[in-house]
């Protein structure tokens, strides 16, 4: 399986940095992945749905670490290109978040 297309939709929120749509093998689309700023840095959250008990459950996710890593690598590469086109870098975003975390 190969990630053949990644579309980044940046947002300007405190923790949520972007929504993402990926295409696998030019024939399967997964929407509503999210790039989130967590305590350990940026991570890719899979699409999820809120259950009746209030917990969120992934509705699509990789079944192994190799697939997860391939998706994350493709998403972060596309995100880096998108924010560079906006005049920022991934390092700048992470440093800004670290300063915010240190202050609060």
Domain segments of the chain as ranges: 3-103
Q: What pTM was computed for the model?
A: 0.78
Could you give the CA distance from residue 55 to residue 41 in angstroms, rounded to a whole number?
23
Query: Which pLDDT value is given to residue 99?
Result: 63
Q: In 3D, which of 21, 15, 13 has the Cα closest to residue 78?
A: 21
Query: Which pLDDT value is given to residue 86?
Result: 76
Are 8 and 78 in contact by the 8 Å Cβ rule? The answer is yes
Query: Which pLDDT value is given to residue 20?
Result: 97
Could you give the CA distance from residue 58 to residue 49 in angstroms, rounded to a whole number?
6
Architecture of the structural domain at 3-103: 2-Layer Sandwich (3.30)
Query: Which pLDDT value is given to residue 61?
Result: 93
Query: Which pLDDT value is given to residue 38?
Result: 87
From the first residue on, what is the mean pLDDT of each consecutive set of 10 residues in the chain (104 residues)? 94 91 96 92 94 93 95 95 77 63 59
Name beta bridge partners: 11.
none
Could you give the CA distance from residue 42 to residue 34 in angstroms, rounded to a whole number?
10
């Amino acid at each position: 399986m190969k990630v053949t297309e990644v579309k980044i939709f940046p947002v300007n929120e405190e923790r949520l940095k972007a929504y993402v749509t990926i295409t696998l093998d030019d024939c399967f689309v997964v929407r509503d992945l999210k790039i989130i700023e967590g305590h350990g840095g940026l991570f890719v959250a899979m699409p999820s749905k809120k259950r009746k008990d209030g917990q969120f459950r992934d509705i699509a996710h990789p079944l192994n670490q190799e697939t997860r890593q391939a998706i994350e690598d493709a998403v972060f590469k596309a995100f880096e290109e998108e924010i560079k086109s906006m005049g920022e870098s991934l390092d700048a975003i992470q440093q800004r978040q670290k300063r915010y975390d240190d202050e609060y």
